[in-house]
Structure formats: C-alpha cells, structure tokens
Chain A
Amino acid sequence: MNIVMFSFILLGFTLLMHLVFVNVIIGAAALTVAMRYVAYRRGDAGLELLARKAFRILVVSDLFGGVWATILTVLMAGLYPSMTAIFMHDYFYPVAIAITGIMVSIPLIAVYWHLWGRMNPRLHSLLGLLLLASILLVPIGFRYFFAGMTYADPSSALANPVYPPLIIHTLIGAVDIGAFVTAAVLASRSNLDVRGVRISLGTGLAMLPAQAAAGGYYYAVLVKYSPYVAGNVGGPLLGYADGNPMVYPAFYSGVALAAVLGAVAAYAFYASLRGEVRRWAVIMSGVLSEAVMLLMEYANDMARYPYIFVQGSGGATASSLLDSLMPIPLSAIYIMLASSIFFVGVFSAAFYYAILRRFIPETE
C-alpha cells in the first residue's frame, strides 16, 4: 500500500471510529428528549425510565466520541493541511457553529441530568430541546465539509446542493442507530425491560424506511452533481460499469445488511410485542445498524478516492494535498495505532463495568 492510500485509510479509520460514537450520541439524544416529553405529557413513568436509560447511553458515548474527534482533527490537519485550511476558510461559520454546539452541549448534558426530577417537567423538556439542538449543531456544521468534498464548488460553499440530502440522511441515520443501540444495550442487561426494547426497536424500524428514502434522495443528488462519486458507489448494478471495485461492494453489502437488519429487527420487535425479548436478535440489530453505517460511510468517502475534492470527473487529488512538509515515520504511526487500540480496550472494560454492572448492583 502506498503512502497516499495509507494516509487516506488512516484518516478514514479515525473518522469511522468517531462516527461509531457520535451516531449513538445524536440518536440517543433525540430519543431521550422525545421520550421524556411524551412521558411527561402522558404521565408515563415507565417511558420516563426508558428516557433515562437512553440518556445514560448518550453520557458514556460522549466522552469517547470527543476523544476520537480530537484524534481525527489532529490527523486531518497533520496529514492534509491544505484540505483543513480550505475547510476553515470556506466553512468558517459552519465550523464556528459546530464548535459552539460542542461547547454548549457538554455542560447542558450535566445540567439536564442533574435537573431531571428536580424541576418542572415542562421546563425540563424545554431544556432537552436546547440540549438536542446543541448536539445537532455539531453535524449540521461539520457535514458541510463532506458536501464540499463531494461537490467542490467554491462559489456555492454554503449553498452546496449536496448538503441538504446529506444532512437529512445523516440525522435520520443517527436516530436509527441510536434507537437500535439503545435496544441492544437494554437487551444485554440481566433484568430485561421488554417495553423499553419494544419502543426502541419500534423507533428504529419506523425510521428505516425514512432512512432508505433519504438515502435514495442523496444518491439522486449525487447522480446529478457528483456523478464520479455516484458511479463509484453505484457500480455495475446501477449502470456504472467502471465503478470503483473497492467501493461498490461495500455499498451493496451495506444495502444487504440493511435488509437483514430490517428482518432481524422486525422479528425481535414481533417477539417483544408478545412480551418476549429475543436477546440475540436485539443485540444483533444494534451491531448491524453500526455495521451498515460503517459500510455506507466508507463507500461515501472512499468513492472520492483518489480525489479529496471532487469536481466533475476529476478534482484535487489526495496525493497533491497530502502533507509533504515532513516525512512521517511509520514507527510513529504504529505507536499511535497500538496505543489507540489498547486504550479503546481499557475504555471498553470500564464501560462494561459501568454499564453492565459487574461492580454496580442493579437496583431498579
């Protein structure tokens, strides 16, 4: 593998790790806020408890989402300085909006948790809306980068036609993943919450058609404005014989896994309607939802290769934008990867103890 491809994949890997967490954060936040409000309106204590559980998943995901964001930022600026500079110049205000979202959301998470049950539920629900809005500001700002790379038209940086379908696709997908992961976490506990599993799975299933429609809309816009990306993603089955063989199989696999996800989740949901939890099916739904996201995001980003900014059938190549100011020692890259993997293991262990309560007795 050459250094251009290696750097591209390294950055992509970091992005995917980041997205594993942030989709859960966004989805869990949307679920929490919605369920908390409905629970208040209906006086439904069970639903409120489920909202609290979804919120816990948000809390523990947030820290590591932030850590991977830092790694991503450093690698982005270090490996592709001009790309990052272009982002900062063309998307100065979207970046500022996203940063504001990060800044505001973290304290709001603490405030929202602390005031739960200590203030008027209507006001608390309103606070939840602010929390959700602050969390949504982050993808709303940063997704401009991706639209700008897919359809590089500096004259319309903030009016990029690829942006609307991309952000819709992103947000619906995140809610979907948040719902399935919440269901999976609930199913992994010893005291099963059948209603919680049912609501989470039901939400995830209900969002799947919307997500498919958003995906279709996004693809249609790609065909119009970024045929190079659309061709690499669509491959021979969608009429692009010269599609990139490193990309379209991932897209096909993603579509196939999404179908499997729908079937497995429907089976698990049906069981939950009968008061049963098919633990393997629910957990698999959570895992599959993340897997589909990883494959689709990979296909979306890898489809630009060898370009970073795609313009028509060409663009600015990764090799021209790759840092050539200093040779980066391979040994240093290995150290970074080894350390990241080790500490992901440590975090997973701590997460496991904290969430699955090897050390904390279940009290609810």
Chain B
Amino acid sequence: MGELATNSSLASIYLHTQNVDAALAMSTYGIYLHAVFLSLTLGIPLAITAWLIQWRRTGDEDYLKYAKTLSVVLAINFSLGVVTGTLVEFGLLDIWPTSMVLFAAPGFLPLAFEATIAFIGEAALLTLYLATLGKWSAYRSVAVLMADWALGSLSGYFILTVNAWMNVPWGAGTTPHALYPFLPSYGPQALNETGALNLMAVLIHYTASGSSGSLAVTNMEFTSMVGRLFDDAWLPLLNPDAIATTLHTLLAAYAVGLGTVAAVLAFKYSRSRDSKYIKLLRPILWILVVVLLVQPTLGGHFMGDSVVKYQPTKFTAMVALTGGNGVYGTEFLDPIEALFAYGNPYHPIHGFQYYIDQCSKLGNTTFGELYSAMDPKMVGYVAPVANATLAGNCVDAVKSIESLAPLVSGFYYSMIGAGIVAGLASLLVLFTFLWRAPGISRVSDAINYGVIGRAVGRDKVLLLLVLAMAVAADVASTAGWAAREVGRQPWTVYGMITTNEVVTSVVITPAFEAIVFLVFTAVAIGGGVAMIYAARRPELLDRLRRAVGGGK
C-alpha cells in the first residue's frame, strides 16, 4: 500500500502491516484454489446432465459410461471443495478474526442458510445421486443431479452475498457517505449509527495502539460495547450487488467447469481421432457457448453497473490504464468505458482528485470532536487518533487505492481481453460446428478454415477454439475476481472497515506461511492427480460403489 497524504496517526489503519501482507497472500491462494474446485463442481453436473439426457434419448451406452466417469471426478472434486472450503472458512476466522462481526451481523443469515440448506443438501443429494446412478432411470438421476447442482448454485449465492456485502454494504444507508462524501447511499438505513460508531471506535483503538483491530473482538464485552449494529437480518440477501455478483460469478464458474471438460475431450479427439469424443463434446459445447456469450454481456453489464454506482473509487482504479493521467486529476474522458458505464461516451469519469476534493466537505472536524458530539462514551477509545481530521482520514483512504490503481486496472483489462477472446471463440464454434446460419456460418467458416486452419491445420481448429474458450474463461474469472478484491482496498468492508482492522494479532511467521502454502499445494496437486486418475477409469464408480456398499 502506498504513501499516505496526511495524518501519520492513521498510518496504522491504512498502511499494510507484514501480518496483513502474509495473511493476504495465504487467503488469496486458498480462495483461488477453492474457487477452482468450486467451478468444476458447478460446471461438471451440466456436462453429466447433457450426457444422461443423450443416453436416455439415444440409448448410446457411451454417454452413460462417461457420465459415470465424470461423476467420480465430480465426487473427488466436491471433496476437494469441502477440504479447501473448510480451510478458507477457518482461515477467515483464524487469520481475519474481525470477520466474526460479519458472521454475527449482516452475514449471519447467508452463511447459516448456506450451511443448513445449500451445503447439507448438496452433500446429501450428491450421495444419493452416486448411490443410484445407473440404477434409477436417466431422468430420475438427472432430477437428483440438477437438484444437487441447484443447491450448489444456491450455496454460491449465499457465499457471494456475504462477499457482496463487503463490496457494497447494503443497509449501511448514508453512514459511509458521512465519512467519505464521494460514496453513495447503500439502501435503507439498517445500520445503527451508534453501533457503527462504537464498532469503529473499538477497532481504531486496538489498531492504532499498535496491535490489531481484531483484538477488539476477543474482548468479552465486545458485543455489549458495540450494541445493536444491524437491524434487518434479511436485507443483505436483497443486496443488488449480490444478485449481479451471483449471476456474473456463477456463470463464470459454469464456464470454467464446462470449459475444462470440453478442453479435455477436444484434446483427446485431436490425439485419437475417435469420433466418440466429438459426440460427447457436442452437447457440452452448446451449453458452454451459451454461457460464454451470456456471462460477459448480461452478467458483465449488471456487474459493471453495480461497480459504477456503488464503488466509485474501484471504477476509477479499473480504468486507470486507459484513462491516462486524467485518472489522477479531477475528471477525464474515456469514451468506451463511459459508453458502457453511463450510455454516453462524452460523460466524464471522476479521477482520484475529485474524491480528494470531496473529502474537504468534512471540514476540520476531528475524530475527537465527532465522538464528543455523537458518541461521548467512546471518546477514550479514539484517543490515538483524536486529533486526526475526518477529512484527512478520507484523503488517506483515497490515496491508498490510488497507489493500487494500475494493478487493479491490469486485472480488469486482462478480464476484458480474455472475455473478448472467449466470446469470439464461442461465436466461431457456434456458427461453424454447432449451427449453420445462412451467411454468418460462411464468414465463420472463412475465419476458421481460411485463417486459423491455415495457421494450425484444418483438423486442429476445433481443438484450438475449445482451448481458447477454456483458457480465456479461466483467465477472465481469475483476473476479474482479482480486480474486484484488490479494488476494494483499503477496505475489507467498503467504506467501513479497513484490512488492517481485520487481521489477526497473532504474528504470522514465515514458517507458518510456508507450511500453509505447502499444505494447500499438496492438496491441489493430490486432488488434480486423483481427478485425472478417475477420468481415465470409467469403471471406477461401480468399483467405488461396491467398495462402499460391500465387496472388494
């Protein structure tokens, strides 16, 4: 995190400590691995369903055989998702203890529903599906698997709802705006202002006094000191950003999962020339193409709208690479981004100086004065920053994200570039290999066979396109998520709680960090090997069922 502009007393709140850097590295790695496994868990059922339906329609046993094979891969992958999910969940509590506030307030219902409705249901139905596949009729198996998939997607919605609240604290009303005047209002005022002030005071107290804000939560009196923080438990579930994030992220996950299966089949076809693989690939490609065309357009549109409307500093950071030096000024023109953001290419986009100027609306009020007037019993807690002005705090927050803008923008445009590649590849697959449309298919054929075919060989065009779809989907998902999360800095909860206020007070040693990376890597490699092993053995499900049900 870069230089601050004003108060050195606020450095402990905004400048990342070593513990924060170490914790961020571990969390990023863990969440990324978890996301990879989750994407496969959400995408693979769609491929299995397509094959089971084809099996029912054609009676072709190849479809059932490969549905069973992929079902074992799904089971292994689900287990890996559980393993990494457990680590991410405990990591959240162990490494970022202030997240307990989320668990106990706006995140309570989404997390509790995720565990008691979605996750438990997913586990139960996956067990039922594996126990009965090939024994029950195809449509009954499809029904169980689709219910399992729906619960997996619902699980995604609940978890993403919590993440969405960290990006757009729906129900915080005008409280963030009062501290950062460039921020909008976040829905109805369900956030209790006194509770929010109390929370901010105790977090500042522990953070600014040299330890960590998370130590505040270990105080036995913590909940009574803060008091009522949030009034409406249901509200976070209705967060508009949660809906946009869910649509965007789940579609990306389906694309990654389906893209992986499609790439493997295309690769196998290119090696063996066995038409069976094309037969298996075809129904998957249909779904993948639709997902890859809808995800960046419809999903991206709603997601972008949410960023522009609710996370202005993140939006400015995202377009830093195309906005030129104007990004660091008051406003600048970026016709393409403005067109998508506002529907008007000449609409100016705010630069970081605009946000800094907005901070001056807070005048010279200090934290001490704010608390004396509004929450006198907590004045003692804000003593370390009592003389710091609210305007200075606001400017420091802007300066913190300003220094990260090129990185955020790099991630953002990587996502856009990869999304364009995936979309174009999808169109070329659609009009040449899946559906013949008059005129359009001739153009598509000309590109595929006249341009790409000449470069790589006519018989490798499909393989190349499918690989492009799969790899681009992976890159877009990873880069997009990175832009979303890094762009949230310096806050963990946008406009409310900084990252330094959340991290553990226990010193994270390099040895501990190394062990965590080692364990994660071992699980990832072991899991990957297990999935490849299972994918090569069609008979594994029947063997597994015999082993569980009886017999060797």
Contact = CB atoms under 8 A, between A and B. Distances in A.
Given A104-B519, A336-B112, A343 B124 contact: yes
Contacts of A316: 220
Contact of A325 (B115, B220, B229, B234): B229
A29 interface: no
A353 to B, nearest CB: 5
Interface string A319-363: 011111111110010011101100110110111011101011011
A114 B530 CA distance: 10
Interface string A36-70: 00000000000001001000100110011011011
B83 A106 contact: yes
A326 B115 contact: no
A320 B224 contact: yes
Contacts of B93: 73, 77, 84, 88
B379 interface: no
Contacts of A63: 79, 82, 123, 127
B214 interface: yes
B335 interface: no
Nearest to A86: B218
B104 A78 contact: yes
Contacts of A189: 550
A125 to B, nearest CB: 18
A70 B234 contact: no
Contacts, number: 257
Nearest to A329: B233
Interface string A284-301: 000000000000000000
B545 A360 contact: yes
Nearest to A107: B526
Contacts of B233: 326-329, 332
Main secondary structure of the interface of B (DSSP, over half): helix
Given A102-B86, A355-B549, A78 B123 contact: no
A343 B222 contact: no
B131 to A, nearest CB: 4
Contacts of B87: 99, 102-103
A286 to B, nearest CB: 18
Contact-residue size bin, chain B (C-beta under 8 Å from the other chain)? 35 or more
A336 B106 CA distance: 17
B89 interface: yes
Interface in B98-121: 100-101, 103-109, 111-117, 119-121
A325 to B, nearest CB: 4
Nearest to B123: A67
A328 B233 CA distance: 6
A364 interface: yes
A337 to B, nearest CB: 8
A70 B89 contact: yes
Contacts of A350: 124, 127-128, 131-132
A71 B548 contact: no
B491 to A, nearest CB: 19
Interface string B65-94: 000000000001001101111110111011
B163 to A, nearest CB: 15
Given A67-B123, A347-B124, A113 B506 contact: no
Nearest to A92: B506
B112 A78 contact: yes
Contact of A77 (B103, B504, B523): B103
A56 B548 contact: yes
A20 to B, nearest CB: 14
B346 interface: no
A266 B526 CA distance: 44
Contacts of B221: 320
A274 interface: no
A203 interface: no
Given A86-B218, A326-B108, 19 more contacts: A79-B104, A84-B100, A88-B94, A89-B214, A89-B215, A89-B504, A96-B512, A100-B515, A104-B523, A110-B76, A323-B104, A332-B109, A343-B123, A346-B125, A346-B128, A350-B124, A350-B128, A350-B131, A359-B549
Closest 5 CB pairs of A and B: A360-B549, A77-B103, A363-B551, A85-B217, A350-B128
17 contacts: A59-B548, A70-B86, A70-B119, A71-B112, A71-B115, A78-B103, A82-B223, A84-B100, A99-B94, A102-B83, A322-B223, A326-B105, A339-B117, A340-B120, A347-B128, A360-B135, A360-B545
Interface of B: 76, 79-80, 82-87, 89-91, 93-94, 97, 100-101, 103-109, 111-117, 119-121, 123-125, 127-128, 130-132, 135, 195, 214-215, 217-224, 226-231, 233-234, 504-506, 512, 515-516, 519-520, 522-523, 526-527, 530, 533, 545-552
